Amino acid sequence: MPGQNQRLARGDVLLGYQKFIKKKWGADGLEACIKETGHDFSMYKNDKWYPNDWCDDILKWMAKTHGIDYCRQLGKDLTENVGMIEFAAKIMGIERVLDRGGDQFKRSFDFGQIDIERTNKEARVIFTDVSICEEACMAWKGGLEGIMKITGAKGTVEEVECQLKGSSKCVYIMKWQ
Position 107 scores a pLDDT of 87
Q: What whole-number distance in Å separates Cα of residue 22 and Cα of residue 29?
A: 7
Nearest partner of 148 among 175, 129, 110, 112, judged by Cα: 175
- pLDDT tens, the chain, 177 aa long: 344 568 999 999 999 999 999 999 999 999 999 999 999 999 999 999 999 999 999 999 999 999 999 999 999 998 887 654 666 777 788 888 888 888 888 888 999 999 999 999 999 999 999 988 999 999 999 999 999 988 889 999 999 999 999 999 999 999 998
- In CATH, which of 3.90.1520.10, 3.40.50.150, 3.40.50.720, 3.20.20.140 is domain 82-176? 3.90.1520.10
- Measured in residues, the chain has a length of 177
Contacts of 146 (CB under 8 A, 6+ apart): 75, 76, 77, 78, 79, 80
What is the pTM (predicted TM-score) of this model? 0.89
SS3 85: helix
Measure the CA angle with vertex 134, ends 26 and 3; round to 5°: 90
Q: What whole-number distance in Å separates Cα of residue 28 and Cα of residue 164?
A: 33
Q: What whole-number distance in Å separates Cα of residue 33 and Cα of residue 18?
A: 9
Position 115 scores a pLDDT of 93
**Contact criterion met (CB below 8 Å) for 155 and 73:** no
Position 171 scores a pLDDT of 97
Rg (CA), the chain: 16
Nearest partner of 138 among 29, 55, 31, 48, judged by Cα: 55
Position 159 scores a pLDDT of 96
Helix then strand then coil, in percent of the chain rounded to 5, is 55, 20, 25
In this structure, which amino acid lies at residue 56? D
Q: What whole-number distance in Å separates Cα of residue 169 and Cα of residue 150?
A: 26
